[in-house]
Amino acid sequence: MERTKSKSGCPKFFDTLHNSSSSGGSSIVVVVVVVVVVVVVVVVVVVVVVVVKIAVEAVVKILVASTAAVLVVILVVVVVVVVVVVVVIVVVVVVVVVEVVAVVVVVTVVVIIIVVEVAAAAAVVVATVAAGVTENL
């Protein structure tokens, strides 16, 4: 069976790289491999940065949209509360005005009744006095 490890314990592949790098032609291969690795790393980093940027923009848009939605909900709740408070105030004012008007009407009716009673009593007194005066004549 072919030996897979060198005398140093490393795989034969490293010995082959080492042996080939001692000759002049393999340094170009090493440079090409390094350049390819660097290009791949740069491409991966750029792709990761672009993906992260897109993800962050999407999250920001979602947050802005959800913030806008939350603000709209808060605004709707505030408007509903204000409308309810205004309606309650108007109802209370109307009830108070109706009660005041009712009291004024009742007082007016009572005053009219009292005036009519007093007038009737005065008419009776006047009629009685007039009858008495005419009898005495």
| Reported confidence tier of residue 1, pLDDT bands at 50, 70, 90 | very low
In this prediction the pTM is 0.41
Residues 6+ apart with CB under 8 A from 12: 3, 4, 5, 6
The share of the chain scoring above pLDDT 70, in percent, equals: 80
Beta-ladder partners of 37: none
Tens digits of per-residue pLDDT, 60-89? 887 777 777 788 888 888 888 888 888 888
Residue 10, phi then psi, degrees to nearest 5 = -85, 155
| Reported confidence tier of residue 21, pLDDT bands at 50, 70, 90 | very low
| Reported confidence tier of residue 111, pLDDT bands at 50, 70, 90 | very high
Going from the C-alpha of 123 to that of each of 55, 56, 110, 118, 134, the distances in angstroms are 99, 97, 19, 8, 16
Amino acid found at 126: V
User: Does position 48 have pLDDT exceeding 60, yes or no?
Assistant: yes
User: Does position 35 have pLDDT exceeding 70, yes or no?
Assistant: yes
Q: Quote the CA–CA distance of 55 and 53 in Å, as a whole number.
A: 5
Q: Quote the CA–CA distance of 91 and 83 in Å, as a whole number.
A: 12
Going from the C-alpha of 3 to that of each of 8, 20, 21, 60, the distances in angstroms are 12, 19, 21, 58
pLDDT of residue 13: 52
